[in-house]
Amino acid sequence: MTTLSASPEAAAPTAAASTLDLAGVSRWYGNVVAVNDVTMRLGPGVTGLLGPNGAGKTTLLHMMAGFLAPSRGAVTLDGEPTWRNPGVYRRLGLVSEREAVHSFLTAYEFVLASAKLHRLPDPEAAARRAIALVEMADAQDRRIGTYSKGMRQRTRVAAALVHDPQVLLLDEPFNGMDPRQRLHMMQLLHRLGDAGRTILFSSHILEEVEQVSGTVQVMVAGRLAASGDFRTIRRLMTNRPHVFAVRSTDDRALAVALMAEVSVTGVELDRAGLTVRAGDYGAFTRALPKIALAHGIRVRQLTPEDESLESVFSYLVEA
Amino acid sequence: MSTVSWITARGLFGRRRFLMLLPLPLVLVALAVLCRSLGVDPGQWGPPVLVGLGLAVVLPVVALIVGTGVLGAEIDDGTVVHILTKPLPRWQIVLPKLAVAVGVSAATVAVPLYVAGVLADSVRLGLALAAASALGALAYSALFLALSLVTRRPVLLGLVYVLIWEGLLGNFVSGTKVLSIQQWVIALADRMAPTELLSTTVSVPVAGVLTALVSVGFTVLAIDRLRSFSVAGETS
Instruction: Tell me: do A145 and A196 sit in the same domain.
Output: yes
d(CA A153, CA A181): 10
CB contact (8 A) between residue A113 and residue B7: yes
A34 lies in a domain?
yes
Instruction: Tell me: do A112 and A258 sit in the same domain.
Output: no
The distance of A176 to chain B (nearest Cα, Å) reads 18
Residues of chain B neighbouring A223 (CB-CB closer than 8 A): none
Among A148-162, A299-313, B38-52, which stretch is predicted with the lowest mean pLDDT? A299-313
Instruction: Identify the three-state secondary structure at position A134.
Output: coil
Among A137-141, A231-235, B96-100, which stretch is predicted with the lowest mean pLDDT? A231-235
State pLDDT tens for residues A157-196. 999 999 999 999 999 998 877 888 888 888 889 999 999 9
The distance of B76 to chain A (nearest Cα, Å) reads 10
The distance of B19 to chain A (nearest Cα, Å) reads 16
A11 lies in a domain?
no
> CA–CA distance from A304 to each of A293, A307, B37, B110 (Å)?
20, 7, 85, 72
Residue at a domain's end among A216, A236, A256:
A236
Question: Does the beta carbon of A86 lie under 8 angstroms from any beta carbon of chain B?
Answer: yes
Structural domain tally of chain A?
2
Question: Does the beta carbon of B72 lie under 8 angstroms from any beta carbon of chain A?
Answer: no
Q: How many CB pairs under 8 A join A and B?
A: 90
Residues of chain A neighbouring B90 (CB-CB closer than 8 A): 86
pTM equals 0.83
Residues of chain A neighbouring B83 (CB-CB closer than 8 A): 117
Question: Does the beta carbon of B90 lie under 8 angstroms from any beta carbon of chain A?
Answer: yes
> CA–CA distance from A108 to each of A104, A115, A121, A147, A196 (Å)?
12, 10, 17, 13, 27
Q: Is the pLDDT of residue A10 over 70?
A: no
Residues of chain A neighbouring B14 (CB-CB closer than 8 A): 104
Question: Does the beta carbon of B234 lie under 8 angstroms from any beta carbon of chain A?
Answer: yes
Report yes or no: A78 and A123 within 8 Å, Cβ to Cβ.
Answer: no
Residues of chain B neighbouring A88 (CB-CB closer than 8 A): 87
The distance of A4 to chain B (nearest Cα, Å) reads 27
The distance of A33 to chain B (nearest Cα, Å) reads 9
Q: Which of B3, B14, B89 sits opposite A116 (nearest CB)?
A: B3
Q: Which of A32, A68, A119 sits opposite B230 (nearest CB)?
A: A68
The distance of A256 to chain B (nearest Cα, Å) reads 47
Q: What is the CATH number of the domain that holds A187?
A: 3.40.50.300
Residue at a domain's end among A236, A264, A280:
A236
Closest by CA position to A163, among listed B82, B29, B214, B128? B82
Instruction: Tell me: do A262 and A159 sit in the same domain.
Output: no
**A180 in the Ramachandran plot: left (φ > 0), alpha (ψ -120 to 50) or beta?**
alpha
Q: What is the ipTM of this complex?
A: 0.87
Residues of chain B neighbouring A102 (CB-CB closer than 8 A): 7, 10-11, 79, 82
CB contact (8 A) between residue A159 and residue B82: yes
CB contact (8 A) between residue A62 and residue B3: no
Question: Does the beta carbon of B233 lie under 8 angstroms from any beta carbon of chain A?
Answer: yes
Q: Domain boundaries in chain B?
A: 3-227
Report yes or no: B150 and B221 within 8 Å, Cβ to Cβ.
Answer: yes
Instruction: Tell me: do A99 and A155 sit in the same domain.
Output: yes
Instruction: Tell me: do A276 and A157 sit in the same domain.
Output: no
d(CA A219, CA A69): 19
Q: Is the pLDDT of residue A6 over 60?
A: no
The distance of B236 to chain A (nearest Cα, Å) reads 6
Q: Is the pLDDT of residue A121 over 80?
A: yes
Which structural domain range is residue A49 located in?
20-236
Residue at a domain's end among A218, A236, A254:
A236
Question: Does the beta carbon of A118 lie under 8 angstroms from any beta carbon of chain B?
Answer: yes
More confident residue, A218 or B212: B212
Residue range A4-23: average pLDDT?
A: 59
Residues of chain A neighbouring B16 (CB-CB closer than 8 A): none
Instruction: Tell me: do A119 and A153 sit in the same domain.
Output: yes
A7 lies in a domain?
no
Instruction: Tell me: do A201 and A277 sit in the same domain.
Output: no
d(CA B77, CA A103): 11
Go through A134-163 and write b for each residue having 16 or more CB atoms within 10 A of its CB, e for each that does not.
bebeebbeeebeebeebbbbbbbbbbbbbb
d(CA B236, CA B231): 10
Name beta bridge partners: A76: A21, A81
Tell me the pLDDT of chain B (236 aa) as tens digits.
789 999 999 888 877 777 888 899 999 999 999 999 999 999 999 999 999 999 999 999 999 999 999 999 899 888 899 999 999 999 999 999 999 999 999 999 999 999 999 999 999 999 999 999 999 999 999 999 999 999 989 999 999 999 999 988 887 887 888 999 999 999 999 999 999 899 888 999 999 999 999 999 999 999 999 999 998 644 33
Residues of chain A neighbouring B81 (CB-CB closer than 8 A): 67, 94, 96, 98, 100
A48 lies in a domain?
yes
Instruction: Tell me: do A221 and A159 sit in the same domain.
Output: yes
CB contact (8 A) between residue B4 and residue A117: yes
Closest by CA position to A205, among listed A229, A227, A175? A175
Contacts of residue A13, Cβ cutoff 8 Å, sequence gap at least 6: A44, A196
Question: Does the beta carbon of B118 lie under 8 angstroms from any beta carbon of chain A?
Answer: no
Residue range A242-258: average pLDDT?
A: 91
A249 lies in a domain?
yes
Determine what percent of chain A is predicted with pLDDT higher than 90: 56
Instruction: Tell me: do A219 and A254 sit in the same domain.
Output: no
pLDDT, residue B236, reads 34
More confident residue, A173 or A315: A173
Residues of chain B neighbouring A161 (CB-CB closer than 8 A): none
CB contact (8 A) between residue A62 and residue B230: yes
Report yes or no: B209 and B182 within 8 Å, Cβ to Cβ.
Answer: no
Q: Which of B7, B84, B85 sits opposite A102 (nearest CB)?
A: B7
Comparing alpha-carbon positions, the chain B residue that sits nearest to A109 is B7
Comparing alpha-carbon positions, the chain B residue that sits nearest to A168 is B85
Instruction: Tell me: do A142 and A291 sit in the same domain.
Output: no
The distance of A273 to chain B (nearest Cα, Å) reads 39
What average pLDDT does chain A have? 86
A13 lies in a domain?
no
Quickly count: other Cβ atoms within 10 Å of residue B13's Cβ. 11
A15 lies in a domain?
no
A195 lies in a domain?
yes
More confident residue, A304 or A26: A26
Secondary structure element (H or E) that encloses residue A283, with its range: helix A281-294
The distance of B218 to chain A (nearest Cα, Å) reads 19
Secondary structure element (H or E) that encloses residue A133, with its range: helix A123-133
Question: Does the beta carbon of A80 lie under 8 angstroms from any beta carbon of chain B?
Answer: no
Is beta strand A45-50 parallel, antiparallel or unpaired with respect to A215-220?
parallel
Q: Is the pLDDT of residue A253 over 60?
A: yes
Instruction: Tell me: do A116 and A146 sit in the same domain.
Output: yes
pLDDT, residue A239, reads 66
- Tell which B residues from 188 to 227 touch A, by Cβ distance under 8 Å: 227
Closest by CA position to A112, among listed A126, A94, A101, A98? A126
Instruction: Tell me: do A142 and A227 sit in the same domain.
Output: yes
